[in-house]
Amino acid sequence: MYFYAARQPILNVNKDVVGYELLFRDGVDNVFPNVDDVEATSKLIEGSQFNFGLEDLTDGKPAYINFTLETILKGYPTMMGRDQLIVEILETVQPGKRLLAAVQELKEKGYKLVLDDYKHQKVWRHFYPYIDQIKVDMLVTSVEEIHEIKEAIVPHPQIELVAEKVETYEQYQLALELGFTLFQGFFFAKPEMVQTKALPPSEMALAELLYETSSVDVDLKRITQVFERDVNLSYKLLRYSNSAAFKRRAEISTIKQALIVLGNQELKKFLSLLFASQVASEKPMELIRLSLTRARFNELLAIKHKKLPDIGMAFLTGMMSLMDAILDETMESVMQKLPLTIDIKDALLQGDGLLADYLALVMAYEQAKWEEASQLTDKLGLVAEELPELYREALQWCDQQIEVMAI
């Protein structure tokens, strides 16, 4: 049995991740209406109990999972720990006495509850004492309706408002002004403002190294020289090559030896990770996590596909795909600064080529756009059933790299 799941982060006002909503189907092709809400939730609960650990998908943070009235009444939420789970009551569930009783019982057991895609009705006021969060779709809910919701929940200060479908920085700012304290969407994947950000010397050296390692034939002598003129980079290289991830027979005595220990593929990963982490030092950690996950997922797709002469290009394309958000400027401006190969630039700027197809599949998967993912999977001739494990592996690899790098 394969489990198809993606995750979307929920962030607080500091842009720290407080949890992940899990978006699940039991196959790329099984999108609504072919799989109903009850079956989707049931299979996710089953999978979390017998096939995979939630921590693999949520980095140990709470999982927001959708529940229907039927799955709530069957007691499915209580199959998971109250610290692991935040119960989302789907917008299709109608308020009634059976739901209210079930909500009261879950609250007594210590579970947190959320009203999803909330449409304001006075009858919901009976539920407010037991509700922790209310999700509001920013794309379809007017400012007037939001003010009405805020006024209705005044007697219940424990309720936090979650802004859903936050796609732009402007929407994020509006949600902040309206008093939202939690946010969900891909606003962080767009530039917050258009400005020029100069790269300091160490980042310029990294950009140079990224270019030097973007070709199949790596010039070891040239790369060694770049490292040797930057003490900070040399230190990080030695620390990384000294980690438990790399088994050595002898102590490392030179920069060249450290580079050989890593090998070309690991060196490319190290450099792109280091570059992204340095220029994103003032950005939310989720940007780094998402960049790393995209990079590794992209690389794994290239390995499976066996059509790319250098899989390192797939990794670097995934890592660079959020550089506009990291540098707070357009991707066009970013690409002018970075001496990347034309194939990578075409993928990121024009959406052209095999690298663009890989990245499009990765982005469709992470956003749970299953129909689009299915079409791209067919186009590339990949095996759809293998994607869930690749995604899970990418998430695990991301966690390991962050731990090693101590970002």
pTM higher than the cut 0.85: no
Between CA 330 and CA 163, with CA 187 as vertex, the angle to 5 degrees is 160
Break the chain into its structural domains and give their ranges: 4-189, 201-405
CATH of domain 4-189: 3.20.20.450
**CATH architecture entry for 201-405:** Orthogonal Bundle (1.10)
Contact 127, 107 (CB under 8 A): no
pLDDT digits (tens, 9 = 90+) for 180-194: 999 988 665 544 433
Q: Is 351 or 169 the better-scoring residue by pLDDT? A: 351
Task: Please give the backbone phi and psi of residue 5, each rounded to the nearest 5 degrees, phi first.
Answer: -145, 145
The residue among 143, 137, 60, 71 whose CA lies nearest residue 106 is 71
Q: In degrees, to the nearest 5, what angle opens at C-alpha 370 toward C-alphas 364 and 374? A: 90
CA 67 to chain CA mean position, Å: 22
What tokens appear for 236 in the block? 């990080």
pLDDT per position as a tens digit, 73-108: 888 888 778 888 899 998 888 889 999 999 999 999
* Model confidence at 258: pLDDT above 80: no
First to last CA, the chain: 35
SS3 261: helix
Weakest-pLDDT range from 51-60, 323-332, 372-381: 51-60
Say how far residue 199 (Cα) sits from the centre of its chain. 25
| pLDDT tens digits, 14-65 | 888 899 888 765 444 434 334 455 555 555 555 554 345 566 677 778 989 8
